[in-house]
Structure 1
Amino acid sequence: MRPNRRQTGSKWRASAELSSRATMLLALAASALLASAAPGSASQPDPLRLCADPTNLPFSSDNPSQPGFYLEIGQALSEQIGRPVAYDWYKSYFGKRTVRVTLLGKQCDAMIGLPLSADFMGPAVIFSKKIMTEAYALVSRTTLTLNGIDDLRGKRVAVQYQTTPQNLLATRDDIEKVTVLTPEEGMAALEQGKADVAFVWGPVAGWLNKTAYEGRFRVQPVEGAGLSWDAAIGFARTSTQLRDQVDAALPQLERRIAELAAKYGLPNAPPIRLGAASSPIRLAALGSPAPFVRQPAAAPPAIRIAETRPRDAGPEAVALGKEIFNGTCAHCHGPDAVQSERRIDLRRLQTRYGEDMRDKYWTTVHEGRPSKGMPAWKEVFTDDQFESIYTFLLTVQSSETAN
């Protein structure tokens, strides 16, 4: 039986539609192939994620028109290595905890401006080559010439609280100390005639002198133990490839870094050499050190639990554990584990966990407690090092009753 005309027309239209769809699919496939083969169509490289404080000028800011010295270095680096830049904002006044949460917590790839020191975070952080030297500074009227600490005799010196400069001046009865909490307060005391000299954090003093005081002060950096150090870019221990890539790019940025230092008013005069403080304070800071530097508090009497200490753990193991602890853990748990905040007071481990103390310690240092800001350290320290830290912690356990 032959199909009628209506049936024939329907079949023709169906065939035409199928042909049209096939042609469209072929065209789309061809376009996709051409696009994938076109120059520059490859996927974009991963961004270079920088840890940054949103309100820490002259170093960093979330204001695009004034990003800060460190962030402009990061922008120049990202162009040099061919990666877009992104930021993970986190306040730097938390000190080393900031490094742990952001950099070691893998929220960012690099942190610019860390002190180039092997004992800053132990082996957890590796560093680029030096990018600049940062220091405290003596700030004075331009008519006053200072060449050393003896030139401060008989003068009123605004000095930052709990800093190495304060320690340095502590034994000088011939210098009148005016204690201030911040470089801003020190500069204000100088401006208001309450001090003759301000002994404060140099980069912030230079920035304030440039922006707030229109360059009417002389800002002279100093050098000496605990007074100056080299700054670098920090990376997590596993990021050696990125670190090497950045190191290869830095020589091409030397002129740009110098230009940025001048833009943000960072002091560049020859440093004044000062002697070491009687008890130098260990640096534990990002950007401006004053909020993070602390003298170790005197430990309250604690009952030792010698019977829980491994019999073969001698004083060498305790000393090693104490050194690692103070280099990496003390910024949260206190120098020598002296900490008034009970929830992170490691002197109460025995009281809190009893026979489970060792298991709890081992699990925590290996796996971390990310929700509490405690990263995993299993890729940073060896089991022998963990054992040394545990041995040290056993010597400071208290017998108080847990609440």
Structure 2
Amino acid sequence: MPQGRRRSFSIAAFGFLATVGLVPVGLVPVRPAMADEQPTLRLCADPDNLPFSSEKAATPGFYVELGRAIGQALGRSFQPVWVPTYYTKRQIRLKLLTGQCDGFVGVPDDPSFINPRLVVSKPIIQLGYALVAPPASAINTVQDLHGRHVAVQFASPPQDLLATTSDVQMVTVLSPEEAMQDLATGKADAAFIWGPSAGWLNHTVAHDAFRVVPVNGEHMVWTAGIAFPRDHAALRDQVDHALDGLGATINALAVKYDFPGAKPGAKPTQDAQKSVPDDGKPDATVQAESPPVTAAAAPNPADIAAGRELFNENCSHCHGPDAVQGEQRRNLRLLRQRYGNDMSQMFMTTVTHGRVKKGMPNWSGIISNEEFQKILAFLKSVQEPGS
């Protein structure tokens, strides 16, 4: 996905001519180094993750435009460093902590992302999940989903939440795009998906055909910031100071990129609100309530058995019958030890995108979403003790 940035032909050609001696040295401009010149601000961002970031000049995304504004406030030029964010923690280790970028934008205030080698900026913006429904529907809260077909992304908090209810028919998808498509075709009555993606897709693809209602509550809302290496705490402090003066810019960008709940001229929200207060009583002022999230329902033994059969038919040639594999790097019984709570997301990302260089194909279109879930249920049932 990332593409090399183009240089101006005239500048490149001029440099080449000077190199081979076809341009008099006196005509080549020499820019003296300034002792007080500020270095470029380099922020790691995904090249294909709208509405947050994109390498496309016409729609650079919320984080890229904010990075430019921060750079301007600091008197620095700005350069995005493109990295895919399917494996955010890994990219933080490989890119940020090796000095290939100065900061990693969009890190959530999630304890699983807290690394003793990092410091994080003030919150930039509040992000969370949202309900998407037709304008005429009566769906305004999570409680209104009862008796409905609801599109949810696999291994997401909305799926975990709705798994605790008995009268919601979940339509499991692998992406917000697929959820919006199911909503548009009538396969689902509503979608319960990542809010920024919902707002962006509703505007750019569905032409504002639906209502997008933010959902507040535990495990439904986070704030995002910029992570820096711990030895760059001084830069973090400078960025924090810049953010103090960029509230209006942040709000304008949230409106531009269709973040749910963003309104022109509104003060940006940085502190996540909860729709279930400490006393356990619903907050009547919250537009879309969400009951406390509990653990997902236990896998059905029949699904585990079916998943074992599917695994042995399709995966055992590399990962061993019943996932028994002596080669540690291919031992899928160690997934939870390696990835912890990210095990499910890592599994789904890998099987639906592949690892071609390592001989792992993309199984999308060969194995269905439901079959992926059964294989995952089987793998969860055989994880090694101590994981």
Output the TM-score relative to the length of structure 2.
Answer: 0.62
- Report if aligned partners of 2:140, 2:287 keep a CA contact under 8 Å in 1: no
- Report if aligned partners of 1:97, 1:331 keep a CA contact under 8 Å in 2: no
* Structure 2 spans left out of the alignment, 5+ residues: 1-25, 263-285, 298-322, 325-334, 347-384
Out of 277, 282, 289, the position equivalent to 2:293 is: 277
Work out the percentage of aligned pairs sharing the same amino acid: 42
* Matching residue of 1:96: 89
SS at match of 1:242: helix
Give, as a single letter, the amino acid of the residue that structure 2 aligns with 1:68.
G
* Matching residue of 2:184: 191
Give, as a single letter, the amino acid of the residue that structure 2 aligns with 1:254.
G
Give, as a single letter, the amino acid of the residue that structure 1 aligns with 2:125.
M
SS at match of 2:119: strand
* Matching residue of 1:178: 171
Determine whether 1:159 maps to 2:152: yes
Say which one has the larger Rg: 1
1:175 and 1:117 map into 2 onto residues whose CA distance is: 28
Over 3 Å counting, the alpha-carbon distance change for 1:70 and 1:331 in structure 2 is farther
2:341 and 2:147 map into 1 onto residues whose CA distance is: 38
Over 3 Å counting, the alpha-carbon distance change for 1:256 and 1:171 in structure 2 is same
Determine whether 1:46 maps to 2:39: yes
> How far did residue 237 of structure 1 move?
1.4
Give, as a single letter, the amino acid of the residue that structure 2 aligns with 1:333.
R
Over 3 Å counting, the alpha-carbon distance change for 1:332 and 1:208 in structure 2 is farther
CA deviations 1:288-320 (Å, max 9, x no partner) are xxxxxxxxxxxx99xxxxxxxxxxxxxxxxxxx
Determine whether 1:240 maps to 2:233: yes
1:228 and 1:331 map into 2 onto residues whose CA distance is: 25
1:225 and 1:41 map into 2 onto residues whose CA distance is: 50
> How far did residue 338 of structure 1 move?
8.6
SS at match of 1:276: coil
* Matching residue of 2:125: 132
Out of 58, 73, 80, the position equivalent to 1:87 is: 80
SS at match of 2:215: strand
> How far did residue 233 of structure 1 move?
1.2
Over 3 Å counting, the alpha-carbon distance change for 1:197 and 1:51 in structure 2 is same
Over 3 Å counting, the alpha-carbon distance change for 1:338 and 1:48 in structure 2 is closer
- Report if aligned partners of 2:128, 2:195 keep a CA contact under 8 Å in 1: yes
- Report if aligned partners of 1:131, 1:231 keep a CA contact under 8 Å in 2: yes
Give, as a single letter, the amino acid of the residue that structure 1 aligns with 2:150.
V
- Report if aligned partners of 2:162, 2:168 keep a CA contact under 8 Å in 1: yes
CA deviations 1:338-359 (Å, max 9, x no partner) are 99x9xxxxxxxxxxxxxxxxxx
> How far did residue 82 of structure 1 move?
0.5
Output the TM-score relative to the length of structure 1.
Answer: 0.60
1:121 and 1:247 map into 2 onto residues whose CA distance is: 18
* Matching residue of 1:216: 209
Over 3 Å counting, the alpha-carbon distance change for 1:90 and 1:193 in structure 2 is same
Over 3 Å counting, the alpha-carbon distance change for 1:265 and 1:337 in structure 2 is closer
> How far did residue 223 of structure 1 move?
1.6
User: How many aligned positions are there?
Assistant: 266
SS at match of 1:262: helix
Alignment of 1:294-305 (within 5 A): none
1:246 and 1:211 map into 2 onto residues whose CA distance is: 31
Give, as a single letter, the amino acid of the residue that structure 1 aligns with 2:295.
S
Determine whether 1:227 maps to 2:214: no
CA deviations 1:31-89 (Å, max 9, x no partner) are x9xx97xxx96563210011011111111111122111011000000000011111221
Alignment of 1:391-402 (within 5 A): 396=386
* Matching residue of 1:334: 339
1:80 and 1:108 map into 2 onto residues whose CA distance is: 19
2:342 and 2:194 map into 1 onto residues whose CA distance is: 28
> How far did residue 145 of structure 1 move?
3.3
2:90 and 2:219 map into 1 onto residues whose CA distance is: 21
Give, as a single letter, the amino acid of the residue that structure 2 aligns with 1:69.
F
SS at match of 2:165: coil
Over 3 Å counting, the alpha-carbon distance change for 1:180 and 1:109 in structure 2 is same
> How far did residue 104 of structure 1 move?
1.5
> How far did residue 117 of structure 1 move?
3.5
> How far did residue 119 of structure 1 move?
4.0
Q: How well do the aligned residues superpose, as a CA RMSD in angstroms?
A: 3.3
> How far did residue 175 of structure 1 move?
1.0
- Report if aligned partners of 1:138, 1:198 keep a CA contact under 8 Å in 2: yes
SS at match of 1:335: helix
Alignment of 1:242-391 (within 5 A): 242-268=235-261, 272-279=288-295, 333-335=338-340
SS at match of 1:250: helix
Out of 202, 206, 221, the position equivalent to 2:195 is: 202
Of structures 1 and 2, the one with the larger relative CO (CA 8 A, separation 6+) is 1
